[in-house]
Amino acid sequence: MSQTTLRLDPHVHSEASYDARDPPELLLEQAADIGLDGVVVTDHDRISASLRAAELAPEYGLVGIPGVEVSTAHGHLLAIGVEERPRPGESMVDTVARVRELGGAAVVPHPFQRTRHGARGKHIVPAEPDGMETYNAWLFTGYRNRRARAFARRHGYTALAGSDAHTVATIGRAYTELTVPGPRAAVTAEAVVEAIREGATGVNGRRVPYHKSAGHYVKGAGRKGFWAARSAGTTALSLF
Contact 90, 123 (CB under 8 A): no
Average pLDDT of span 167-194:
94
- Give the chain's mean pLDDT: 88
Q: Which residues contact 137 (CB under 8 A, 6 or more apart)?
A: 161, 162, 163, 164, 165, 170, 173, 174, 205, 206, 207, 208
CATH number for 185: 3.20.20.140
pLDDT (tens digit per residue) in 207-226: 555 445 444 444 544 444 43
What b-and-e string marks burial along 12-30, b requiring 16 or more CB atoms within 10 Å of the CB? Answer: bbbebbeebebebeebbbb
Q: Are residues 70 and 126 in the same domain?
A: yes
Q: Are residues 124 and 171 in the same domain?
A: yes
- As for how many domains the chain has, the answer is 2
pLDDT (tens digit per residue) in 31-73: 999 999 999 999 999 999 999 999 999 999 999 999 999 999 9
Give this prediction's pTM: 0.86
pLDDT (tens digit per residue) in 105-148: 999 999 998 888 999 999 999 999 999 999 999 875 678 899 99
Q: Are residues 172 and 122 in the same domain?
A: yes
Q: Are residues 199 and 175 in the same domain?
A: yes
Q: Are residues 145 and 218 in the same domain?
A: no
Q: Are residues 186 and 240 in the same domain?
A: no
Q: Are residues 195 and 223 in the same domain?
A: no
Q: Are residues 137 and 226 in the same domain?
A: no
Q: Are residues 86 and 144 in the same domain?
A: yes
Would you call 185 helix, strand, or coil by DSSP?
Answer: helix
Q: Which domain holds residue 188?
A: 3-208
Q: Are residues 85 and 202 in the same domain?
A: yes
pLDDT (tens digit per residue) in 66-95: 999 999 999 999 999 999 999 999 999 999
Average pLDDT of span 1-30:
95
Q: Are residues 134 and 239 in the same domain?
A: no
User: Among candidates 150, 36, 4, which has minimal Cα distance to 132?
Assistant: 150
Amino acid at 19: D
CA–centroid distance for 55 within its chain: 19
Q: Are residues 119 and 214 in the same domain?
A: no
Tell me which DSSP letter residue 165 carries.
B
